Amino acid sequence: MSKHKAGFVNIIGNPNVGKSTLMNAFVGEKLSIITSKAQTTRHRILGIVNGDDFQMILSDTPGVIKPSYGLQESMMDFVKSAFEDADVLLYMVEIGEKSLKDEQFIRKLKHSEVPVLLLLNKIDKADQQLLEEQLQYWQQEFPNAEVHPISALNNFNVKEVFNRIVHLLPEAPPYFPKDHLTDKPERFFVNETIREKILKYYKKEIPYAVEIETEEFLEDDKIIRIRSVIMVERDSQKGILIGHKGTALKKVGVQSRKDLEAFFDKQVHLELVVKVAKNWRSDPRQLRRFGYQS
């Protein structure tokens, strides 16, 4: 039998390029939430793919931005940590975009000691000519990277890239038990499922001012009883979130419950409460409490 391979494969790129879509496609589960809005992912989320003779530990990370408040600084710390322990780096770009604006990250990618795969995503949006131009452009920009065109959404070239990454993994014993799918607890996925609905249904600043904390997660044979608090930064946001006669919040609850029942494969009872946690995005103590620490 061949030797066992294992390693950390960390996905990095601008917001909204499709990092979470790719991780979910590799893992075959909806571990990361996906929306059309930038800054959907706020944490570093591990997705573990186990084979007989390999373990691929993928990291989905927040899109690279210039931080302007504490939450975003912490998000960028997660990205930095993903540079530090990578065995393979996946730098994702999308059709029509230019490189990262962060010079330091670019330098790290250009001078990386571990293999860098530059994944040109969303090629379903390009014709052949544009695709060839873009492939040439990225290969010139990152001469040391392997450039691969993909469509994470349509599963185009995803399996081939996956096999290529397995090939690049170093020889190592597994880092996690072989039945583990992620490093995050069940409550994290509850929080994220609710936050996804808020990203989808509310406009402007609301999704960015929201954090979820699941206070109760009680599971028995038949049902999971969940109580989650939606935190907003100001009183005015609380009113918007709840909506006229509570209809807006109701929609969040119903859709979240449906998704959670599919995720946990069990009946779910979900209670949602809205509270104000003044300026939590800039408050180091509150950020720590919500798991934003590097």
Ligand X SMILES: Nc1nc2c(ncn2[C@@H]2O[C@H](COP(=O)(O)OP(=O)(O)OP(=O)(O)O)[C@@H](O)[C@H]2O)c(=O)[nH]1
**Is 201 within 8 Å of 252 (Cβ atoms)?**
yes
Taking the complex as a whole, the smallest distance from the CB of residue 152 to ligand X amounts, in Å, to 4
Taking the alpha carbons at both ends of the chain, their separation in whole angstroms is: 39
Question: Among 4, 15, 112, 181, which residue interacts with ligand X (rule: CB under 6 A)?
Answer: 15
151 binds, among Mg ion, ligand X, none (CB under 5 to 8 A by kind): ligand X
Q: Is 65 helix (H, G, I), strand (E, B) or coil?
A: coil
Chain centroid to Cα 21, Å, comes to 8
Among 29, 39, 77, 255, binds ligand X (CB under 6 A): 39
259 vs 270, beta carbon nearer Mg ion: 259
- In 3-state terms, what secondary structure has residue 22? helix
Q: Does 10 bind Mg ion (CB under 5 A)?
A: no
Binds ligand X by CB under 6 A, chosen from 106, 114, 131, 153: 153
Question: Please, what is the minimum distance in Å from the beta carbon of residue 63 to ligand X?
Answer: 3
Shortest distance, CB of residue 59 to Mg ion, whole angstroms? 11
Residue 193 contacts Mg ion per CB under 5 A: no
Question: For the residues of 91-103, what is the DSSP string, one character each?
Answer: EEEETT----S-H
Answer whether 112's CB lies under 8 Å from 121's CB.
Answer: no
Which position among 17, 76, 169, 224 is part of the footprint of ligand X (CB under 6 A)?
17
d(CA 83, CA 59): 10
Q: How far is the CB of 90 from Mg ion (least distance, A)?
A: 13
> Of 36 and 247, which CB lies nearer to ligand X in the complex structure?
36
Residue 260: partners with Cβ closer than 8 Å, 6 or more residues away: 189, 190, 193, 224, 226, 268, 270
Instruction: Determine, following the binding rule CB under 6 A, whether residue 34 of this chain makes contact with ligand X.
Output: yes
178 binds, among ligand X, Mg ion, none (CB under 5 to 8 A by kind): none
21 binds Mg ion (CB under 5 A): no
Closest residue to bound ligand X by CB: 63
Nearer of residues 27 and 277 to Mg ion, judged by Cβ: 27
Site string for Mg ion, 28-57 (x = CB under 5 A): ------------xx----------------
In whole angstroms, how close is the CB of 61 to Mg ion at the nearest point? Answer: 8
| Element holding 58 (H helix, E strand) | strand 54-60
Of residues 275, 17, 294, the one with CA closest to residue 134: 17
Q: Phi and psi of 276, rounded to 5°?
A: -100, 125
Q: Is 38 in the site for ligand X (CB under 6 A)?
A: yes
Structure tokens at 222: 């038949």
Q: Which residues from 93-152 bind ligand X, rule CB under 6 A?
A: 121-122, 124-125, 151-152
User: Cα–Cα distances in Å, from 81 out to 11, 44, 193, 279, 289?
Assistant: 12, 9, 25, 26, 20
- H/E stretch holding 228 reads strand 223-232
- At residue 45, the 3 state secondary structure works out as strand
Residues that bind ligand X (CB under 6 A): 15-21, 34-36, 38-41, 62-63, 121-122, 124-125, 151-153
The binding site for Mg ion (CB under 5 A) comprises 19-20, 40-41
